[in-house]
Amino acid sequence: MRYFIIVLCLSFSHIMVFGQGTKRISDSGAYFNPDISVIVDTYYQQSSGSEGIAHILEEVSGFGHSHGDAGHEHGPLEGLNFREAEVYFSVNIDPSFYGYAIIAAFEEGAHIEEAVIQTTSLPYGLEVKAGKLFSNFGRLNSQHSHYWDFTDQPLIYRLTLGDHGLNDMGLAASYLAPTDFYLLGGIESFQGDNEQMSAYSGEDPLPERLGPRVLAGWLKVAPNLPSKHGLQFGASFGQGVHQEIHDGNSDGTDDHWLDGHNQFWGTDFVYKYDSMKAYGEGDWILQGEYFRKDGDLVVRRHDLVPALVSRHKKDQKDGYYLQAIYGIMPNWQAGLRWEQAGLVNSERLPDGTRNSFAPSNKSSLALTYRPSEFSYVRLQYSNGNYETSGGSENISQISLQLQISLGKHGAHKF
Amino acid sequence: MKRIIILIILICGICVICGSGWSDLTADARRQAGEKKLNVLTTTSDLKSITEEVGGKYVSVKSVCEGYQDPHFAEAKPSMIANARKADLFIRIGLELEVGYEPLIIEGARNPKIHIGTDGHLDASDGVSLLEVPTAKVDRSMGDVHPFGNPHYWLDPYNARIMARNISGRLQKIDPTHSTWYQANYQVFIKKIDEAMFGVEASAKISGDKLWDAEISGKLDDLVKQENVALGGWVEKARHLRGMKMVMFHRSWTYFINRFRLIAVGEIEPKPGIPPGPAHLRDLIQKVKSENAKVILTEPFYDRKSSDFVAAQTGASVAVCALSVNGKPEVKDYISLIDYLMDHLLQIK
């Protein structure tokens, strides 16, 4: 919330300064001011089942609970949702640096989605980014929600990385090879505070692990294809420190502490076909990602069963999604997505118990109308079978999303 | 943790060493092979064609857009970013035509040589007299309006001369060893344009600059009478098109019809970049009838349905025309692009 107020004050002070100035001053001011745009994302959603889809997603077997960050209710809620207004600022800072900041404001407050300083003039195809940023691993992780082809993110993202994906304070370096085809590789280091992937407490008796606690690397390769076709493959790997504190007997006090790490790796592809017709008619986008996570934690202290200290808790989960988007007529797109989470979904607890859970799956159908590049309306229907401790639950969801983009907004990556 | 830091430093180090070694190797290999071609990446095929005319054997040119593609909406494909990584010069049409993909290519390429404002980045519109520059405040309720003016200026042969001058000037600057070559090729190219425009006889007797000055100020007929030469070329052909009323799908041919004095009475698009709805088409049909427009000119990438509908209601004929080099197989270079448009319109007339 504080950030939002600061931003508001800043923008008002700009308006006041330039509003009173002469035209010449306001012109040169506009020249060096950052580009500003605002994306407003709002939707209506309804799901079958008594407790709503948001609740079910917390209960999927093997994937545990997501806790969310304070003050930000994790959707989708039943009924009318205002997901967020994303305020973008971007500007070339000087001959060496480019900077951008994205502030997501929602009803209860605001948080910094990204605030990044990026080099622009390093030699040899190198680039370094620092600040709060999205990891470039996978395909969807670095994409903001307004660029998604469906209203919600795929299950495997939501269940293993939470609502915001891998987004953290970090340092990222990447290298574009001078090859005839596209070859981009990157290595990233993050402080590590993702609830599902790299939660860290450091409180006694857990060991202190100084940051950065997450390391990730990725590679993207694109062959040269004739102009109507575009194809890109990606592979990613990452590892992060993870700590858990549990209240095993639910008496209100913590009783066992675990420390270790999570590893994850994934692979992704996207194929785009450009029909060369106007307004996106006849265009295809095929896209898929596979993602796997392996956890290995050691019990550091156990007040209920001290014998379990030093025993390991291991778990493996994976998931994938496949989607196709087709331009059915000018400015209209239809999308189909199939996904599964938990094909591998097993754990071995410190006491030697082995559990394995069935996968959850979901299929979605989306119809998007884009009156221009700056707005869209999307109707989406999803049906999923979610594996929970109470058995498999079948949930249907329907949503109607309206999204608009005001101001000068950067183009979207391939 | 130390391990992680060491690993990062190591990998960065390897990247730097590979990077420098790699580009040095390729540069060495080129030097040994005796070919020192400049790598040029243009946004459109027209820029590519003109750059090849001016640069000849000393340039290797690639274009982001194909000739049959809508130059507003290309995708910043990874392969184009890979090309931009190695480019010595990036050339654009400008006026925000390429705003949807140029920033991604330039940022993604990590090639400081082609950053905007450097010698490796050229806006070919420099010096072009722009049309349809908005005089009032613009906003997006007006569609994809270009705040700096209509960017389709390459379809006026006079502007092709300016583009060639800009390209030749920049090639001379970044590759001064071959500057006489670029200058000579530029002269050859504008001579070709002048001959195609005014005919071989007129351009042999009168300098190209003088002919164009007269053409622009509307005194071409006086000049040729005074010099006692016959006009030929596009100017002569275009006499049959003068005053022809037509409708465009998008305002892609504004500069062409302005140069050759055709008259546009409307567009199929209600606003730039916005597909037509029934109300707009009804109004347009009325206009086509009352103005007695004969031709509906449309780009290859737009759906023909709306154009065919208006044509059927009014008796006008639809012409689907390439607006860039390679937009049709017979359009091999810039001169043949204007030839093609001229002949196409004359046939319909």
Find chain A residues with C-beta within 8 A of B274's C-beta. 371-372
Predicted pLDDT of residue A27: 54
> Which residue of A lies nearest to B144 if distances are taken between CA atoms?
A372
Higher pLDDT, A66 or B328: B328
Write out pLDDT tens, residues B279-301. Answer: 999 999 999 999 999 999 999 99
Mean pLDDT of A170-175: 97
Q: Considering CB atoms only, which of A187, A372, A414 is closest to B76?
A: A414
Q: Which of A103-112, A209-218, A286-295, B60-69 has the lowest mean pLDDT?
A: A103-112
Q: Is residue B213 helix, strand or coil?
A: helix
Give the per-residue pLDDT at A350: 94
Between A11-15, A119-123, A406-410, B84-88, the lowest mean confidence (pLDDT) is in: A11-15
How distant is the Cα of B188 from the closest Cα of chain A, in angstroms?
Answer: 31
Query: How far is A71 from B28, CA to CA, in rounded Å?
Result: 59
From residue A405, how far is each of A41, A107, A353, B95, B189 by CA, in Å?
9, 18, 51, 22, 45
Smallest Cβ–Cβ distance between B82 and the set A179, A187, A278 belongs to A179
Decide if A414 and B303 are in contact by the 8 Å CB cutoff: no
Cβ <8 Å between A187 and B12:
yes
* DSSP type of residue B155: G
Q: Which of residues 43-102 of A touch B (CB under 8 A)?
A: 98
CA distance A230 to chain B (A): 6
Going by DSSP bridges, is the β-strand pair A167-176/A182-190 parallel, antiparallel, or unpaired?
A: antiparallel
Q: Which of residues 282-301 of A touch B (CB under 8 A)?
A: none
Low-confidence ranges of chain B (pLDDT < 50): 1, 3-4, 7, 10-25, 27-28, 31-32
Q: Which residues of B touch A224 (CB under 8 A)?
A: 79, 82
* pLDDT (0 to 100) of residue A75: 63
- Taking contacts as CB-CB distances below 8 angstroms, the residues of chain B near A180 are 82
Query: Which residues on neighbouring strands pair with residue A338, listed in sequence order?
Result: A322, A363
Give A189-200 pLDDT, tens digit per residue: 999 988 888 888
ipTM of the complex in this document: 0.85
Contact A110, A104 (CB under 8 A): yes
* pLDDT exceeds cutoff 50 at A73: no
pTM (two decimals): 0.87
Partners of residue B62 in chain A, C-beta under 8 Å: none
Q: Average per-residue pLDDT in chain A?
A: 87
Q: How many other CB atoms are there within 10 angstroms of residue B5's CB atom?
A: 12
* Structural element, H or E, at residue A53: helix A53-58
DSSP assigned state of B58: G
Q: What would the two tokens of residue B127 be?
A: 């010096």
Taking one residue from A and the other from B, the number of pairs with CB-CB distance under 8 angstroms is: 137
Q: How sure is the predictor about A29, in pLDDT bands with cuts at 50, 70 and 90?
A: low
